[in-house]
Amino acid sequence: MKVVVIAGGQGTRIASLNNEIPKAMIPINGKPILEYEVEMAKRYGYTDFLFVIGHMGDQIEHHFGDGQKWGVNIEYYKEEKPLGTAGALGYLKERLTEDFFVFYGDTVMDIDMCAMLEYHKNKQADATLFLHPNDHPYDSDIVDLEMNGRIKKFCNKPHKDGFVSHNMVNAALFIFSPKILDLVEVGIKSHIEKHVLPACLEKGLKLYGYVSFEYIKDMGTPDRYYSVCDDVTSGKVARLNRKYIRPAIFLDRDGVISKEVNLLCKPEQMELIEGVGEAIRYINQKGYLAIVVTNQPVIARNLCSLEELDYIHAKLETLLGHEHAYLNAIYYCPHHPDSGYPEERKEYKIKCDCRKPAPGMLLRAAKDWNIDMSQSYMIGDRDSDVRAGENAGCKASFKIEMNKSNALLDVLKTII
């Protein structure tokens, strides 16, 4: 399977460097970004590269040659004129006859490529996009997913006032089937995100979002450059790879993050408790996953549909996004054991293993995201939350006062 690296584009002057270089050759600790990418792919057994290079591409070719020095094989496609991130793909149809990865040359990342490919194959996707939440979704291009991970639509910035969505952003790492190439116009300047992917959706191709919290960042600005250098040096980039276990903070929703309303079932009832944005941002910055685990018997009671609940959670993520904070995942139990309500949905009136104090949601999250329970915490406002944390094997569980300003942040500061 080939790895196509888009390394054309404009050159850049960055950091203390005086001469113009292609972005892919920006050094971190003396080594070009593109070299980190080559080494990462090689670690996962991908050794066939196709570099798309532009007007300063000679520097790239001079450095990498045929790739032998790295134990890989590198071919080149040289653009005569800049064709955007997608334009060159139109010329590569004969060379790309099976599914392939696409990297941008200025991306610093450490991703379990095999896990992403496995997802792509399981979904039988025509394209898989690497997605993650970020701390500024309101001015990012958002990807709207169905609950099974299939991409519904792209909501590109700028967003209108009152825009509500899950916090899911394209991180610019892809797996494409050759079918995608048919939608690239040969010789015309175009971009993957702006032109090709929307055209794929229109044609009814199967696009899926692969969600992961591994490290992936591009070199947008000098400030970003310095922070990425620090992350490489400190080992953060490698440490967030999926193969390493990570700690999490599990959070109850109502009364802890959002104001407790009896049986919340309308988006306009969703409001953050004061100080929660700062608290979740604190979790994000400390390198813990922020994971909501919430009992939502409103589904079993038929007060709200799964789609409506999903929209309520999109509203929650939007409110947090405005405060530069994000949740990594939301798990909910739609069940309720007691039947007898006239309007209830029988299929959810069961005794399940996910309704807290049962640990089902926490255990499922642990499996999904490779969480180290012995270093994780549960925070709620009821005894059932504390018991769920204990039942799941959390390091400790805490009960805070319902709807109290800054209660979450105060307890977080005592534990992490």
Binding site for Zn ion (CB under 5 A): 333, 335, 352, 354-355
Compare residues 40 and 388 and give the one whose CB is closer to Zn ion. Answer: 388
Q: Phi/psi class of residue 289: alpha, beta or left (left: φ > 0; alpha: ψ in -120 to 50)?
A: beta
Compare residues 295 and 397 and give the one whose CB is closer to Zn ion. Answer: 295
* 3-class secondary-structure state, position 309: helix
Number of H helices, E strands in the chain: 11, 20
Minimum CB separation of residue 282 from Zn ion in Å reads: 29
Q: Are strands 151-155 and 142-145 parallel, antiparallel or unpaired?
A: antiparallel
Compare residues 330 and 333 and give the one whose CB is closer to Zn ion. Answer: 333
Any catalytic annotation for residue 254?
Answer: yes
| Residue 385 near residue 356, CB atoms below 8 Å | yes
Compare residues 256 and 300 and give the one whose CB is closer to Zn ion. Answer: 300
User: Which residue among the candidates 106, 231, 252, 385 is catalytic per the annotation?
Assistant: 252
Give me the residue label for tokens 């941002």: 281
Compare residues 353 and 401 and give the one whose CB is closer to Zn ion. Answer: 353
| Residue 226 near residue 268, CB atoms below 8 Å | no
E-state strands within 326-371: 329-333
Minimum CB separation of residue 347 from Zn ion in Å reads: 12
Residue from 58, 94, 75, 105 nearest 186 by CA: 94
The encoded tokens of residue 368 equal 């999904």
Residue from 34, 47, 42 nearest 109 by CA: 34
Rounded Cα distance, 68 and 208, in Å: 34
| Residue 46 near residue 20, CB atoms below 8 Å | no
Minimum CB separation of residue 360 from Zn ion in Å reads: 7
Compare residues 198 and 357 and give the one whose CB is closer to Zn ion. Answer: 357
Any catalytic annotation for residue 106?
Answer: no
User: Which residue among the candidates 99, 126, 254, 381 is catalytic per the annotation?
Assistant: 254
| Residue 290 near residue 327, CB atoms below 8 Å | yes
Minimum CB separation of residue 48 from Zn ion in Å reads: 46
HSE (CB half, 13 Å, CA atoms) of 388? 29
Give me the residue label for tokens 């992917």: 197
Rounded Cα distance, 265 and 403, in Å: 18
Radius of gyration of the chain (CA): 23
Compare residues 11 and 357 and give the one whose CB is closer to Zn ion. Answer: 357
Give me the residue label for tokens 């450059």: 225
Minimum CB separation of residue 354 from Zn ion in Å reads: 3
Minimum CB separation of residue 305 from Zn ion in Å reads: 17
Residue from 330, 158, 149 nearest 252 by CA: 330
Minimum CB separation of residue 379 from Zn ion in Å reads: 20
List active site positions.
252, 254
